[in-house]
Structure 1
Amino acid sequence: MFRQRERFERTDVPRDVPYRDAVAIGVLVAVFVGLVVLVASLWARANSESSVANKDLSASIAAQGESVNPEGYVASSDVFTNVLVLTVDDVDAANPTLTKAQVVSLNATHKSGALATIPLDTKVNDGTSDTTLSELYASKGASACVVPLANAANVKLSHVLLATDDIWDKIAGMKSSGVSALLGSASDVLSSIKTDMRTSQLLDLVELAQAVGIDNLSAFDAPAAAEDNGNGGTWSVIDQTQLGVSLGTLVAAS
C-alpha cells in the first residue's frame, strides 16, 4: 500500500497571492493621490497672495515708464532681470521697518550680475512732491516706492521683492532647481518675502541667481551726490548714468 507523500512549502519561494497586482496598484494609487494632495497644498501656499503675486506690487511694476538713454549711451542688448529688493525687519509686521534698499541686476546673457545698494535718503518724487525713499516707504509702503525709485535711478525694474535680510542666503541654499526646490523650501523662503512675482517667475529668478552665483555679484554703493533739500538738510541724488553703466544696463554709444 502506497504511503501518501507529505507536502512541504518552501519559504524562500514567493507564493502567488490572489489579487496581489490589484493590491499593489491600490497602494500606488494611494501614494500618488497623497503626493498630488501634498503638492497641490504646497503650490497653493506658494501662490498665496500673502507671499507671491501681490496685487499692489504687481500694479506698481506695471505702472513704470521706460528708462531713458542719456547722451552718449545706449541700452545694452543683453537680457537683464532687474529686481528692487526692499529689506525689512519683519515681512509680516503691520508696518515693517525699511532697513536697506538694493537693485539686483542679473544678466541672463552672460550669467553675471551686479548689486547696487541705494541710499535710503535718495531723493524721489511721489507724483506730488519730493521726498526721500525712506520717508515715502514709511508713509505709503513698498508699492508706492517702485515707480519713484525707478524714475530716480532711471532703471526699468522687472520685479520687486520685499524680504528679510537673509533672503539671498536662503536662495543660495536651494541647491536643486525647479518646483521640487521651491516646494521643499516653501515655508522657509515664502515666509521671508512678499513680491509681485508669480511662483513660476520666482523659480526663474532662483535658477538665474544660482546660475550667476550669489557670491559672484558685483556689489557696490549706488553713485550719488548730496543735494540741499531746502529744509536745512540734504538728500542723495543718484547719478543715473554711472549707475546704469555699473549695472551693465547702459553701454557707451559706438
Structure 2
Amino acid sequence: MPFRQRERFERTDVPRYSPYRNAIAIAVLVAVGVLLVVLLGTLWAKAQKPISVGNESLSKSLQAQGQVTSPDGYTVSQDSFTNVLVLTVDDVNAKSPKLTKAQILSLDATARKGTLVTIPLDTKVNDGKADVRLQDLYSGSGASACIVPLATAANLRMTHAMLASNDVWDKIESYKGAGVSALMSHGADLLYSINTDMSTGDLMDVAELVQSIGVNNLKRMDAPASQEADGAGGNWSVLNSAQLGVDIGIMVPAA
C-alpha cells in the first residue's frame, strides 16, 4: 500500500529563526542600557543639587514680625498684597553666601501690579540690641536675623523671604505662560537658585503672579532714604517708611 507524503505547513504563530535575531536583541539591550545609564546619571546629578524650600529658620523669623502701623493721614490698603524679601547672594548654595543686593518684591494681586524696591545695604536696622547696618547684620547673623529688623525699619510685613541668585528673575520670565505643572517640570533650575520659607506650591503661586503681572511691568525703584551719621564717623541710610508704603501702594490716604 503506497504511503502518502505528508505536506509541510509553515506555522505563523511560531517565530522563525533568523541569524540576525540575536544581533538585534543585543543591539536593543545595549541601547536600553545606554538610556538607563544616561537617565540614572541625570537623576543622580539632580539629587545632588539642594532644593531649599520650606526653610524653617526663615519661617520662624517671618512669624516673629510685628504689626504694620499707619502714618498720619494714611491707612492700610484693603488690596491683597504679597511682600517677598529677596536677598540676592553670590552663591545661594555656598556655606556663607555673600549678600550683593536686598530687595522687597511687593505684589498687589487685586490691582495686578507689582513693585521691586531696592534697599540700600547700609540701611540702619536694629537687631534688638543695637543699631547696625543691614549688610553687617546679614554677615554676622545670616538671612533669618534680617527679616524682623528690616520689616520694622520699612514698616512692612513680609509674607515670604528668600535668598536668590542673580538670574532668578530671568528664569521666572522664561517660564512665562506655563502652568504650575509646567513650571514644576521645566523650571527645576528655579528651585536650585533659591533658599526660601515657601513651599513648592507657594513658590509656584508667586511665580505665576509675577508672570501674570509681567517681570518687565514691575515698577522698579530705590527705597526712599536719607543719610544719617552713624555716631562712629560714618553714615548709614535711614528708610522713609511712610513714603515707601505710599510708593508701593500699601498705604493709601485715609478717608
Please indicate the TM-score interval, normalised by the length of the shorter structure.
Answer: 0.7 to 0.9
Amino acid at match of 1:181: L
Higher CA-based Rg: 2
Superposition deviation, residue 49 in structure 1: 8.0
Distance 1:193 1:205 in 2: 13
- String of CA shifts for 1:166-198, please: whole Å, max 9, x gaps: 101101111301133123211x11111000001
> RMSD between aligned alpha carbons?
2.5
Paired residues of 1:84 and 1:157 also in contact (CA < 8 A) = yes
Superposition deviation, residue 130 in structure 1: 0.5
Are residues 49 and 75 of structure 1, via their aligned partners in 2, closer, same or farther at CA, if it must alter by over 3 Å?
farther
Q: Which moved more, 1:171-180 or 1:72-81?
A: 171-180
Distance 1:190 1:88 in 2: 15
What is residue 200 of structure 2 aligned with on the other side?
A: 199
- Superposed, which structure 2 residues align to 1:1-254 within 5 Å? 50-175=51-176, 176-186=178-188, 188-254=189-255
Are residues 50 and 181 of structure 1, via their aligned partners in 2, closer, same or farther at CA, if it must alter by over 3 Å?
closer
Superposition deviation, residue 206 in structure 1: 0.7
Superposition deviation, residue 50 in structure 1: 4.8
Are residues 128 and 50 of structure 1, via their aligned partners in 2, closer, same or farther at CA, if it must alter by over 3 Å?
farther
When the two structures are aligned, how many residues end up with a matched partner? 218
Identity %: 53
Question: SS state of the match for residue 100, structure 1?
Answer: strand
Question: SS state of the match for residue 219, structure 1?
Answer: strand
Superposition deviation, residue 126 in structure 1: 0.5
Return the TM-score normalized by structure 2: 0.80
Distance 2:209 2:215 in 1: 10
Q: Which runs of 5+ in 2 are unaligned?
A: 1-42
Question: SS state of the match for residue 207, structure 1?
Answer: helix
Paired residues of 1:86 and 1:101 also in contact (CA < 8 A) = yes
Distance 2:205 2:50 in 1: 19
Superposition deviation, residue 161 in structure 1: 1.3
Paired residues of 1:179 and 1:203 also in contact (CA < 8 A) = no
Amino acid at match of 2:198: M
Question: SS state of the match for residue 236, structure 2?
Answer: strand
Question: SS state of the match for residue 206, structure 1?
Answer: helix
Paired residues of 1:150 and 1:157 also in contact (CA < 8 A) = yes
Return the TM-score normalized by structure 1: 0.80
Question: SS state of the match for residue 66, structure 1?
Answer: coil
